[in-house]
Amino acid sequence: MTQIPRTNLLDLDGERLATFIAGLNEKPFRSKQLMRWVHQRGVSDVHLMSDLAKSFREQLDGSVEIKSLPVISDQTASDGTRKWLLDVGDGNAVEMVYIPEDERGTLCISTQAGCAVNCQFCSTGKQGFARNLTVGEIIGQLWYAEHHLRNDPSAVKRIDTYDKTQLAHGEGRVISNVVMMGMGEPLLNYEPVIGAMSLMLDDNAYGLSRRRVTLSTSGVVPFIDKLAKDMPVALAVSLHAPNNKLRDILVPINRKYPLAVLLDSCKRYLEFAPRDFLTFEYCMLDGVNDSDKHAHELIQLLKSIKCKINLIPFNPFADSGLKQSPKSRIDQFAKILLDAKMTSEEH
């Protein structure tokens, strides 16, 4: 007997869930109820959704599922940072990382399996592109991590920033910030990323404010402009070089959207951004982009944009041919930026 495929409720953003519910001849408010059960309370058994009519629960039982990506491994470091490897099939995996801090809990998620952008300092880029993740696979990372950590007594921190009246458990949430900085270029998987972000922002789901959701891009300019209109969350730009000659090599998408074009789109984005600055990521590569000259070039390049620069130590991997800048070099680079009154952070 052929089985009818079930609809994964994690794949449905607010609009699609409403259409799905209408298709079942149920009242529109049911979609909000269902969204709260799934995303706010993390319930995956429809029979536990006690304020839904029994007949509706039975109908759902036969047609839906609530399933995130299977976990391959789950590791916790001594500082509480937790890393999960998730199975996306065909021998591919993506990573998700939870970083607990005093005032916030940040989840870093992936949007694609592999990546086609091929940045020189990135091990994901070296693997090549496998496939785009779906809405359910993207939001499922937040769904799994939030509810898993919330119910885990060993979870390091409970962040109590959520409006408690919105949580049936009366508990604070664990994840206060989401960053799309894991595997993949989010803007090259635009529609599913927008669908997943709409759930992050939806008060019936995770209710995060736009400033607590950060999308990191290598600089896909047409989609930066589109994002500004569709869903202007906080934006981080992977810059990594202060001139086109070097960026063409380190971040090859620069050949298509060179720095002047990219920075113009960043300025346009600032008009819509939830904060009055953008973040630029700069991976410090020994002898490649970390000299005093590079720091001065960076100041000239970014002087007309309100921004913060994150200096990230390179994470070495086999065959990259690159080395991490020494700490003293990163400090000196940061000092030059600071002397020019540019805000930077060392990670």
**Closest distance between ligand SF4 and the C-beta of residue 163, in Å?**
33
Residues 246 and 204 sit within 8 Å (Cβ to Cβ): no
Our CB check for ligand SF4 shows the closer of 68 and 238 to be: 238
Rg of the chain taking only CA atoms, in angstroms: 21
Q: Give the whole-angstrom CA distance, residue 31 versus residue 18.
A: 5
**Least distance to ligand SF4, CB of residue 269, Å:** 17
- Spatial distance between the Cα atoms of 193 and 181, rounded to a whole number of angstroms: 12
Shortest approach of ligand SF4 to residue 96 CB, angstroms? Answer: 14
Q: Which helix (H) or strand (E) holds 89?
A: strand 82-89
List C-alpha distances in Å: 182 to 122, 124, 223.
Answer: 11, 9, 19
Helix (H, G, I), strand (E, B) or coil at 84: strand
CB atoms within 10 A of CB 56: 18
CA dihedral (244, 268, 212, 84) in degrees, to 10, reads -30
Shortest distance, CB of residue 34 to ligand SF4, whole angstroms?
Answer: 33
- Tell me if residue 183 falls in helix, strand or coil: coil
By C-beta, is 34 or 181 nearer to ligand SF4?
181
The residue of the chain with the least Cβ separation from ligand SF4 equals 125
Based on CB atoms, which residue is closest to ligand SF4, 122 or 205?
122
CB of 347: closest distance to ligand SF4 in angstroms?
Answer: 15
**CB closer to ligand SF4, 136 vs 184:** 184
Q: Which H or E run contains 245?
A: helix 244-250
Q: Specify the residue, 181 or 337, whose C-beta has the smaller distance to ligand SF4.
A: 181
Distance in Å, CB of 217 to ligand SF4, minimum: 8
Which residue bears the tokens 């408010």?
29
- Looking at the Cβ atoms of 35 and 179, the one nearer to ligand SF4 is 179
**Residue 31 or residue 254: which is nearer to ligand SF4 going by CB?**
254
Interface ranges with ligand SF4 (CB under 6 A):
115, 117-119, 122, 124-125, 183-185, 218, 238
Q: Which tokens sit at 249? A: 């090599």
Distance of closest approach, residue 321 Cβ to ligand SF4, in angstroms: 15
